[in-house]
Amino acid sequence: MTEHPATASPGRPTAYSRVTLSKIMTAVDVNLYGTVHGGVLMKFVDDVAAAAAARHSGGTAVTAAIDEIVFSEAVRVGDLVHAYAQVNWAGQTSMEVGVRVTAERWDSAEGDPMRVATAYLAFVGVDVGGSPRMVPPVVPESAGDQRRYREAEIRRAHRLARRRAIQAHRGG
């Protein structure tokens, strides 16, 4: 299922792309329910994922799709939020970036940060003219990285199958 030909350039280890962004959520980030708006977290996820994709690809990378984003806990004003991203898989021009978002409650110094969201995004490396360009393959380093790589291939296959099925349904 890997897109890279046998003569591809050497890959980059998973750790090469890892990026962390942190932000304290403020009153401008809240929705009508008094919790941080999902759209604020989505932008934060896209920002950290873009940084990981650019780092891995060695240049500009643009968001092509958000495969999935799951919000598991509400984030409140004052929470310190951390977003962790890494490239899980790369093809010839595209990459999947996985993102995990955690939060530390502002009113409690005890307890571990809680997971508040996870997401998977597809990025494409682009050149100065905006055309797709080659990106290096990913070299998984740990058992967890290998698992994420295999799961990314499954998500990619599903995304492509869904696209083909919709195009077939539309008649072309």
* Maximum pairwise Cα distance, the chain: 58
- Helices (runs of H) and strands (runs of E) counted in the chain: 2, 7
25-83 pLDDT, tens digit per residue, is: 999 999 999 899 999 999 999 999 999 999 999 999 999 999 899 999 999 999 999 99
pLDDT surpasses 70 at 151: yes
Confidence at 7, pLDDT banded by 50, 70, 90: very low
pLDDT surpasses 90 at 110: no
Q: Where are the beta strands (DSSP E) in the chain?
A: 12-13, 19-24, 61-71, 80-90, 94-104, 114-125, 138-139
Two structure tokens written together for 71: 């919000």
The pTM (predicted TM-score) of the whole model is 0.90
**Cα 34 to Cα 75: distance, rounded to the nearest angstrom:** 9
